Structure 1
């Protein structure tokens, strides 16, 4: 199943983005706006489909991590193979999102109860850094991830060699469509391939998700949730798992 999913993802990117050279299949650079590129394929965990199917959707990519090329499906496997004690705030929050929705499937209720409060830390990644033992089952192996806005400003998150300044990682300027119809088509086709039972949107911006997209997903029987990005430290106490999922997570029902 997993191999077929990955083949299908490669095929839809070929048909929707690469076939007419809208995006360069090697560098990811967009033909009509050479300041932006497709930085990565989606992430599909090695055990996706073996438990409840969870798709986590970010608003935008955040950083151009692979200059001059697209991050491949294989390269993204480091999300689940990296040392959990060193994960960044985003992946820490993504781990706990997977844990929250999969704790029954993976028999991880005891670990959830032990880590959901401030016992080990006040943020997702600090908890993972300090908890004595991680479960053998990694929730990150069972989820998939993609982004709603597909393109990133080239070099975002890196130092500009001309000005010596870091190109901002704030995503406001990358939350735009270059070809809305094409990009919405790609997003919805990804969902067809991944066939999730739950979609979790990592931004409050998704509360204003386009009505037609929302209705399409709800009619498919997918449960939709959204919360602010897990690396957002402006929310007092919000990055503690029990706070994030009880106070800040909202189900989209209509």
Structure 2
């Protein structure tokens, strides 16, 4: 998994067609970004699929790793199911035309209070770990990241040792996970929204400064970043080079 993960959520036809995005992904790959984050819940997923198909025709030597967003249970369920987890993983493998996912960004949703989510997760934590371990043994996933939704959920998940890594928001404004991250082992977390999804904020702080802030926490191994133009990619190439030689 590369230090910068290409976030596909904001891909859109308004910004460019498959040819445009395929060229951007090609240059991103050669700049050191070898992993893509996606979700079937995103409007961009169909565009990502067609872009990857186009990219394979342009350069079939490029093989991206994939992190996918995956809720089990979802809002319509109160309990976890290993069968549903397997079905969802297999759906992503088929949709992305790969044999293995670099990681699943797992989350427990359901229409419950956070306190109840933690309680139900604790009750089924052994079953969840067994389901994840089974996917690993089959070679379908490499790692499982927990997107906790709350610090309390992350604290419980850490204690139960169900997941390989965690996936949390981190930037100079969203710092609620910083205290618990400081207690995590080095390189065991992936951050989301390093730029706070705010153009004015990026202009004020600068992309390199924000990336440096993100990786100032030793627990952070990678960050998911939406890139929609070559100019944006060029802005962070120096940072990518520095990370690669570190």
TM-score by length of 2: 0.29
- More strand per residue: 1 or 2? 2
Higher relative contact order (CA 8 A, sep 6+): 1
TM-score by length of 1: 0.28
